[in-house]
Amino acid sequence: MTERELIRRLQNRLPIADNRHYELTIGDDAAIRVNETAGERLIITADVSVESVHFSLDTMTFEEIGYRSMVANLSDCAAMGALPDSAIVQLVFPKKRANGNDTDINESIERIYDGFARACARWNFPIIGGDLSRGDSWIIGITLIGAVPPTARPVKRTGIVDGDALWMTGTPGKSAAGLACLQHWGRENIPARYQQFAGAHISPIPKISEGVSFAACKHVHAMMDLSDGLSKDVAALCSDNSLGFIFDKDLQPGMDMINLSTELTRDWRDWFYHGGEEYELLVACDSAFDLRGAVDNVDITRLGRFTSKLSGMFVQGDDGGMEELSSRGWDHIRNEL
């Protein structure tokens, strides 16, 4: 069973409630609540970051862990075309040290909140509450509320039509390449030519303003946060819209990533297609529309097109042939990359 299949089974176990106030619930980057009085839509999303699963104390500081945990939610907010409104934080910290000294724990919690504060200050929203508890490891759970202005629209994962093009902000695989750098060289010894990859992993920038701009573009049909790997997240878009997908031929990262993969004897395609934690946006739009004209000064790449003639994902080769691409992004149930 995959993570996606388990979520569907859990959803089927829940009672059917009167959701007249909700335009969208389980199954997208966020739920959408309609505030009829104010004429706006609120989006609600949640994410959990767990030590040794989502982050390692060997490669990140506590402040960086707090910041990136908040970014995971902000990226979901961006994918809906919303602006962050407020957040609630649940923090589980390790049990008391053997010597009974909690000073280091207290200071670590404060550093995590410094990371939260960094994100809150940059994107102008408050933390309005939360909870603290002891446990066996560091766990950060965040619920984020965002707002879609009355004159705007929330963008969902569904709405893609046959022939639509798919674009992505940024370059897929940079975060996975950054993690490989950290694991190979350690935090202090990464060559300067590869520091960009470590930065993409440690301090990603959610595309908040870009998401709002894309949502305002009538040619955009759907959006999704890219965080579990290109192959898994594109597969989710295919499933939700009952379409196949063909990646453009000659699709590859810059030479820096290719050189890094050679130096570490890794296949750059594993990072590019199956890496995760990019916190970028996948944007589906009219095939004839050049999305680069929708937002100024944003790094964006066309990935390929959706099709009703195929089921699954395929990479187009130079000879015109097609090679099927399996979904191998991170899955918490299968526990594999």
Q: In Å, how far from its chain's centre is CA 169?
A: 11
Predicted pLDDT at 11: 67
pLDDT recorded at residue 295:
84
pLDDT (mean) for 122-127: 94
Neighbouring residues of 328: CB distance < 8 A, sequence distance ≥ 6: 229, 231, 232, 273, 274, 336, 337
pLDDT on residue 61: 94
Domain boundaries, the chain: 3-148, 165-325
- DSSP 8-state class, residue 293: G
Which CATH code, of 1.20.1530.20, 3.40.250.10, 3.90.650.10, 3.40.630.10, is assigned to 165-325?
A: 3.90.650.10
Which tens digits make up the pLDDT trace of 47-75?
A: 999 998 889 999 999 999 999 999 999 99
148 compared with 138, residue with greater pLDDT: 138
* pLDDT confidence tier of residue 317, bands split at 50, 70 and 90: confident
CA atoms within 13 A on the CB side of 247: 25
| 31, 46 contact by CB (below 8 A) | no
Q: Taking the alpha carbons of 111, 115, 118, 120 in that order, is the dihedral positive or negative? A: negative
pLDDT exceeds cutoff 70 at 35: no
Q: Are 128 and 260 in contact (CB under 8 A)?
A: no
What pLDDT score was predicted for residue 67? 97
Given a contact cutoff of 8 angstroms between Cβ atoms, the answer to whether 119 and 74 are in contact is: yes
| Topology, domain 3-148 | 60s Ribosomal Protein L30; Chain: A; (3.30.1330)
